[in-house]
Structure 1
Amino acid sequence: MEPFVLRDAHVTLSVPTAADVDRVAEVCADPEIAAWTVVPSPYVRADAEGFLTRMVPAGWAEETIFTWAVRAPGSVDGPVLAMMGITRTTGAPGQEQAGEIGYWTAPDARGAGLTTAAARLAADWALDPEGLGLSRLQWQAYVGNWPSRRVAWKLGFRFEGTLRRYGPQRGVLRDSWMASLLPRDPREPAEPWPAEAPRS
């Protein structure tokens, strides 16, 4: 599949390229991204080069991982503000398809609703029969990643529980939260925000 742009009035999603190497290397060195994702830690420029020149193009070509750089509205090559991905997880042609959404946000772009807007665009495409046509889109995050959980909550993902020692991270299995979104689910919170969540 050829990479394509998703956009609305709030955000633009375009394929990240080698021109984004320095920015991605800078952002992925952030301790918060290292704490909650599977990016290498410490993260160096060579990691960004491998991600942008090999992993991203291969994912699109094989139609297994669809990765976008999140940029300001109207800009297809502006600074990377976040990264958004849809990974096809199960299914074969003619069978129901499932996938997973993942994202990170640069420190200087947090708190403005950018990731929520980008995730909405990506999720809608993934679940649209005219898009990727998934029957289930899941979200998972390591327990304690409340910012990521808030994005999923805003999009209507339904929390399904905590999976103990489920999510791998650099050789360790961590407890993980799991939630899902189906094609007909409303794209709005499906339940009250958890009482145990920290205030923000």
Structure 2
Amino acid sequence: MFVRELSSQGLCLTPPTVDDVESITRCCRDEEIGEWTTLPKPYGLKDAERFVSTVVPSGWADRSPTWALRHTPRGPVVGMIGLGALDDSASELGFWLDPAVRGRGLMSAAVNLVCDFGFEPDGLALERIEWRAFVGNTDSAVVARRVGFRFEGTRRAGGLQRGRRRDEWVAGLLYADPREPAEDWPRID
């Protein structure tokens, strides 16, 4: 698959490289990122090196692209976002954001860019993008709801995190869905 950079005002999405290992490691040591993701904990330099040298290139080759969020094309990594192929017409969205830049709308903008790419005929030509988060990850849920994902339910013990089953929320965005805050979400706080 071709590699594609995405951008919007004040936001650049580029594939992470070996030059990003230190900033990825620093970000992934944040307690909240460890709480809500399946990343290794504790997260070390070797984890980031393996991620950029193995996971990212193989993901792009298998229709599962990953981008680093930056403020400028070659600036430091402030987050990560990707689509994991479920099949030829659907992918799962995943993301994390450095605590220093949370609450500024960056992730909502990044999710919109990535969903646009996912649905574009010249992108992945998907019909569905799925969002999942461990129950309690309200920050992630706020982003998904804001972008237009429709809440579909809670999967009991539906997710696996470092050998432990956890309940997870699931939402979906279809190609034809409007990109406006979805109203069908339960109270999640």
The TM-score normalised by the length of structure 2 is 0.96
Q: Hey, what does 2:119 align to over in structure 1?
A: 127
- Name the amino acid aligned to 1:130: D
**Aligned residue in 1 for 2:65:** 66
The one-character-per-residue Cα deviations of 1:71-110 (angstroms, maximum 9, x if unpaired) are 11xx22101111010111123xxxxx11111000001111
Which shows bigger deviation, 121-130 or 37-46?
121-130
Map of 1:27 onto structure 2: 27
Q: CA deviation at 1:192?
A: 6.1
Distance 1:128 1:44 in 2: 36
Q: What fraction of aligned residue pairs are identical, expressed as a percent?
A: 46
Residues 25, 44 of structure 2: 8 Å contact kept: yes
Alpha carbons 1:167, 1:173 under 8 Å: kept: yes
What is the SS of the residue equivalent to 2:155?
strand
Distance 1:193 1:59 in 2: 31
2:132 is aligned to 140
Residue 137 of structure 1 and its aligned partner are, at CA, apart by 0.6
Displacement of 1:130 in angstroms is 2.5
Q: Which runs of 5+ in 2 are unaligned?
A: none
The code of the aligned residue for 2:151 comes to F
Structure-1-length-normalised TM-score? 0.91
Aligned to 1:110: 102
Instruction: State which of 81, 84, 87 in structure 2 corresponds to 1:84.
Output: 81
1:166 alignment partner, one of 116, 141, 158: 158
* Aligned counterparts of 1:98 and 1:143: Cα–Cα separation in 2: 22
The secondary structure found in structure 2 opposite 1:191 is: coil
Counterpart of 1:51 in structure 2 is 51
1:33-81 per-residue CA deviation (whole Å, 9 max, x = no partner) reads 0000000001111000000111101111232x20000011xx2210111
Structure 1 spans left out of the alignment, 5+ residues: 92-96
RMSD (Å), alpha carbons:
1.2
Runs (4 or more) in structure 1 with deviation over 2 Å come to none
Q: For the residues of structure 2 that align with 1:85 and 1:114, how far apart are their CA atoms?
A: 15
For 1:184 and 1:129, the matched residues in 2 are separated by 13
Distance 1:192 1:135 in 2: 20
May I ask how many residue pairs the two structures share in their alignment? 189
